[in-house]
Amino acid sequence: MVNKKTIFRETRAYPVVFMLLITIVFVGILAVLYQLTLHRVQTYRETQLKSMVLRTFDLPENDVEANFTKFISLREEADLTYYEATKDSVLLGFCFPISGSGLWSTIQALLAVTPDFKNIIDIEIVSQNETPGLGGRITESWFKAQFKGKLLVENHLIQQFTLIPENDQIKGFEINQITGATASSKAVVDMIYKNVLKYSKEMRAEL
């Protein structure tokens, strides 16, 4: 028996068989682990997204599921997908999943606007892979807060925001950019402009 084994280990087939077996074992373990954690990961992502939608409308986030069902409804029309928020039968606004290319990868965000498309309500960054400490700062509250209530329209036209240095006073259609992360700041501003333009057109908003 021992002799046979030694001989088999010297054959050409041995490395192939060994590699095949070890691959099956390890990939098997990973597949099981992936399945076990999949549900948890997905639930977390969904809850995270729902609570972000609520946050853009400044709605309570304590019971995400209940509040989401109560205030938010998902609309899917042709190639448009967006959330609609209603409170006490008053339409608060729309929340659009938007995305644009950042410095390293796609930035995904949620943008809430008033029903008349004239003002931004709030913005939340869903996912980004910008440089940590530089472009990654687009998730910081001071940066996002600049967009809160920001006017979008002048002379019935959607306006593009201009970027000014980080600590300067902003007025009108200006936004403070992040020092050392012009590309990431510009990406956010650009994706807001493009998407507001697209959605306002598709949804036939009177500007």
Partner 1 sequence: MTKKQIFMTSAFTENSIWRQILGICSALAVTNLMLNSLVMGLGVIFTLALSGFTISLLRNYIPKRIRMMVQTLIIASYVIIVDLVLKAYFPQISTALGPYVGLIITNCIIMGRAEAFAGKNPPLAAMIDGIGAGVGYTFVLLVISFVRELFGFGTLFGIPILGDWWTKWSIMVMAPSAFFMLAMLIWIVNTKSAKRG
Binding to partner 1 by residue 99, rule CB under 8 A?
no
Binding to partner 1 by residue 40, rule CB under 8 A?
yes
Binding to partner 1 by residue 20, rule CB under 8 A?
no
Choice from 8, 18, 142, 145 touching partner 1 (CB under 8 A)? 18
Binding to partner 1 by residue 8, rule CB under 8 A?
no
Task: Convert residues 48-67 into a mask of x (bound to partner 1 by CB under 8 A) and - (unbound).
Answer: x-------------------
Of 28-36, 53-61, 148-156, 198-206, the window that binds partner 1 (rule: CB under 8 A) is 28-36
The contacts of residue 20 (CB under 8 Å, 6+ apart) are: none
Identify the H or E element spanning 174.
Answer: strand 174-176
Identify the H or E element spanning 27.
Answer: helix 13-56
Cα separation of 92 and 76, whole Å?
A: 18
Q: Which residues pair with 122 in a beta bridge?
A: 112
Of 17-25, 70-78, 80-88, 155-163, the window that binds partner 1 (rule: CB under 8 A) is 17-25
- Residue 137 DSSP symbol: G
Q: Is 82 exposed, middle or buried (0-12, 13-18, 19+ CB in 10 A)?
A: buried
Helix axes 13-56, 2-10, angle to 10 degrees: 70
Task: Convert residues 167-186 into a mask of x (bound to partner 1 by CB under 8 A) and - (unbound).
Answer: ------------xx------
Nearest Cα residue to 203 out of 54, 100, 82: 82
Cα separation of 170 and 153, whole Å?
A: 17
Binding to partner 1 by residue 108, rule CB under 8 A?
no
Complex with partner 1: residue 40 or 156, whichever CB lies closer? 40
Binding to partner 1 by residue 142, rule CB under 8 A?
no
3-state secondary structure of 142: helix
> Nearest approach, Cβ of 31 to partner 1 (angstroms)?
10
Choice from 62, 79, 133, 165 touching partner 1 (CB under 8 A)? 133
Kindly list the residues in this chain that would bind partner 1 in the complex (CB under 8 A): 9, 14-15, 18-19, 22-23, 26-27, 29-30, 33-34, 37, 40-41, 44, 48, 127, 129, 131-134, 179-180
